[in-house]
Structure 1
């Protein structure tokens, strides 16, 4: 007897609810204009900048958090831009396209 069966025996009137999807994937607003993915060097260190999102600021912050977590890198959200430490343009573009965004590579 596994844990689910034991819980059903203890609480027979409880109805199971379907599991929720991961936060951030289906809740982000997908726009028509492409997000710009730029590469720069600041103080000799490479950074990737994402700019041009027209949705809610909270959605863009959540997207920044998801990208940083998936790439295991540092970064920040400043002035309506996501700044990721390192040159991760190809990986970021693949992740955003997978989520349904239109991405345009700028420079280099």
Structure 2
């Protein structure tokens, strides 16, 4: 069987598949979500509405091992913080420093020696950053 015939046969099967969300069209009065917005991750606040400044110690280290001599700044030992918030912090740090980075194994890795900028952003987020290592 040629490719065209197989493709045409597959398209008939797709049109017969029931729409899983077809029943939702009949419902009226459903709330409309905000357009084009991402989920908002709120900054943790204390009971009195002030920004939480005691979210724990975070170690900031500069590492060059296994990277061909290139320096990487790593923030590790986060406690009580989820992956989504780590990714948001990493994005904020990358944008402020103008470099790339990632979240690996629960640590935020930023390209280059950006310890001072990382410390400033983590302090603003309520953490207690400490320069660790040599």
Q: Tell whether the structures are fold-level matches, with TM greater than 0.5.
A: yes
User: Could you list the per-position Cα deviations for residues 53-76 of structure 1 after superposition, in whole angstroms to 9, with x for gaps in the alignment?
Assistant: 121111111111111111111011
Bigger relative contact order, structure 1 or 2, given CA contacts below 8 A and separation 6+? Answer: 1
Runs of at least 5 residues in structure 2 that lack an aligned partner in the other structure? 1-39, 46-51
Q: Give 1:1-108 correspondences, 5 Å limit.
A: 26=43, 32-41=55-64, 42-54=67-79, 55-108=81-134
List structure 1 runs of 4+ shifted beyond 2 angstroms.
Answer: 23-33
Q: Which structure has the larger Rg over C-alpha atoms?
A: 2
Partner of 1:18: none
Q: In 2, are the aligned partners of 1:48 and 1:87 still within 8 Å (CA)?
A: yes
State the Cα RMSD in Å: 2.3
> 1 CA distance for matches of 2:76 and 2:54?
13
Higher strand share: 1
TM-score for both structures, normalised by structure 2: 0.56
Aligned residues: 86
